[in-house]
Amino acid sequence: MSIALSIIYLIATITFIVGLKKLGHPETAKSGNLIAAGGMGLSIVGTIFIHDLEVPTFIYVLIGVAILLGSIIGWLIAIKVEMTKMPELVSLFNGFGGASAALIGFVEFSKQVDESLQAITIIAGIIIGAITFSGSLIAWGKLNGSLKSVVKIPQHNLVNNLFFILILAFAGYTVFTGVQSPIITYSLLAGGLIYGILFVLPIGGADMPVVISLLNSLTGIAAAITGVLYDSMVMLVGGILVGAAGIILTVAMCKAMNRTLGSVIFGNFGGGVVPVEGVNKALGSITRTTASDAAIMMNYATNVIIVPGYGLAVAQAQHVIHELEELLAGKGVNVKYAIHPVAGRMPGHMNVLLAESNVEYNMLMEMDDINPQFSNADVVLVVGANDVVNPAAHNDPASPIYGMPILDVENAKHIIVNKRSMKAGYAGIENELFYNTKTAMLFGDAKAALTDLVTEIKNM
């Protein structure tokens, strides 16, 4: 029986690795996800039916009911969630993973713990899982607007650090003395939950994608710890893969935003002052345009670059922008999409959104590849993007985004920016691009504005 289970775990581990590899490209991502999910399902079935659990039949019934309910709820949520809500869903599901790790540690710590290493493993699982759970819920609340982008906590860095040191000291004392009691277990769990809240609450909205990635990594670490606890190679490998991938993604996003992980955690990036609509004493005034004028400009262009942002996702305008792209291409216009690494709310958000509307993947150009081409673009259409096209990243050393790699939209011959209003982006700062003499602002909901553009071009 143990040999059969080991083979199943080995197969599952291989599927995790193959699935993760396939997730690196949109054309193979779906099959990669299915392969990894199949491996996970195989390992669950093997654990339940082959592993020598020695538990009453009633427990098997409860496990089956839990799996069935969880599968139904997860399936319903996944098929109904909008693309704009995907980062929130990731954060929420990630929180449940942390909660699972914390609960496992909670149960195990209530038993007799004989070794210090075992105690360290259990306590680490409780603390990390609790931090991930509460922190992910706070991140979810910020992303869906239930919580303010930045919640001011006086001396929050000092408070957070002291509280974390206190948790570590209490955990060390528990391991050193070998004391076991329900009070200690509840205290460790409560400490982790409180720190997760304190950790995420002050962080600005612009840094939420980085925080989610970091929390996702912590969930992987918690899962790996659980794998050590139960001597399960498949849990260990799965946790390591999630943890490592989360760390790599976190570092990549920090690099794309010209930020260090320390500045994300301690810097409060985001939540600045919203500018007065249409005028700025230092930068000048904006130029407005209409769908008719914008359509004329794009219709007679040779090269057009489209820059999608979160506003496109919010308006669910991905199908309309694909129609616009096809319409322009049919008129002989060379159209490309410029994708910033952190456009939207998470890396790959725009890629998945546009793939949903059947935009050809070879039309999506990454930042490093598209930036040299902006100078040859007759028209750039920016839809719902803000901070990722802000020239302040190059021009203003005092700006919080100074040094952040951006799309060099300002180098194009003509720029059309579609926004609902002059409200600042996630970073909470003004965008110099909007006041550029080459820029014309097309105000309105992205879906409505793009629909008007399509109609105008069709009538030409």
Write the pLDDT tens digit of every residue in 28-70. Answer: 888 999 999 999 999 988 888 887 667 788 888 898 999 999 9
Measured between alpha carbons, how far is 72 from 61 in angstroms, rounded to an integer? Answer: 17
Residue 355's nearest CA partner among 339, 376, 334 is 339
What is the end-to-end Cα distance of the chain in Å, rounded? 72
- How does residue 148 score in pLDDT terms, banded at 50, 70 and 90? low
Mean pLDDT calculated for residue range 244-254: 85
Tell me what percent of the chain is helix, strand and coil, each rounded to the nearest 5: 65, 10, 30
Reported confidence tier of residue 448, pLDDT bands at 50, 70, 90:
very high
pLDDT at 274 over 60: no
Rounded to an integer, what is the distance from CA 113 to the centroid of its chain? 37
pLDDT score of 113: 66
Active-site position among 387, 408, 445, 452: 387
Question: Among 1-5, 196-200, 451-455, where is mean pLDDT lowest?
Answer: 1-5
Q: What is the pLDDT of residue 205?
A: 61
What is the structure's pLDDT at 275?
Answer: 43
Kindly report the average pLDDT of the chain as a whole number: 84
Q: Could you tell me the pLDDT band of residue 282, with boundaries at 50, 70 and 90?
A: low
DSSP characters for 258-302? Answer: T--HHHHHHS-----PPPPTTEETTTEE--B--HHHHHHHHHT-S
pLDDT of residue 137: 92
Element (H, E) at 304: strand 303-308
Highest mean pLDDT among 51-60, 212-221, 259-268, 326-335: 326-335
**pTM, 2 dp:** 0.74
Residues 270 and 427: beta-carbon distance below 8 Å:
yes
Mean of pLDDT values over 214-228: 89
Residue 74 to residue 271: CA distance in whole angstroms: 33
pLDDT of amino acid 108? 82
Give the number of other CB atoms < 10 A from CB of residue 169.
Answer: 10
Label residue 105 by pLDDT band (50, 70, 90).
Answer: confident
> Strand 364-366 relative to strand 334-339: parallel, antiparallel, unpaired?
parallel
d(CA 60, CA 220): 26
Q: Is the pLDDT of residue 428 over 60?
A: yes
To the query of whether residue 445 is one of the catalytic residues in this protein, the response is no
pLDDT of the residue at 153: 62
- Of 3 and 418, more confident: 418
d(C-alpha 24, C-alpha 112), whole Å: 44
User: Please, which pLDDT band fits residue 114 given cuts at 50, 70 and 90?
Assistant: low
Asked if the model's pLDDT at residue 444 lies above 80, the reply is: yes
Report phi then psi at 339, rounded to 5.
Answer: -115, 120
pLDDT at position 280 over 70: no
pLDDT at 427: 60
According to the model, what pLDDT value does residue 131 have? 94
Amino acid of residue 298? M
- Sign of the C-alpha dihedral computed for residues 417, 337, 342 and 79 taken in this order: positive
Q: Please tell me which residue, 125 or 87, carries the higher pLDDT value.
A: 125
Rounded to whole angstroms, the Cα distance separating 222 from 228 reads 10
- pLDDT number for residue 279: 45
Q: What is the CATH number of domain 279-458?
A: 3.40.50.1220
Domain ranges of the chain: 2-266, 279-458
pLDDT in tens, 319-352: 999 999 999 999 999 999 999 877 766 677 788 7
CB count in 10 Å sphere of residue 344: 28
As given in the structure block, the two tokens for residue 66 are 């839990």
Gap between the Cα atoms of 189 and 206, Å rounded = 29
Q: CA–CA separation, 382 vs 96, rounded Å?
A: 36
What is the Cα Rg of the chain in Å? 25
In terms of pLDDT, which residue wins out, 56 or 277?
Answer: 56
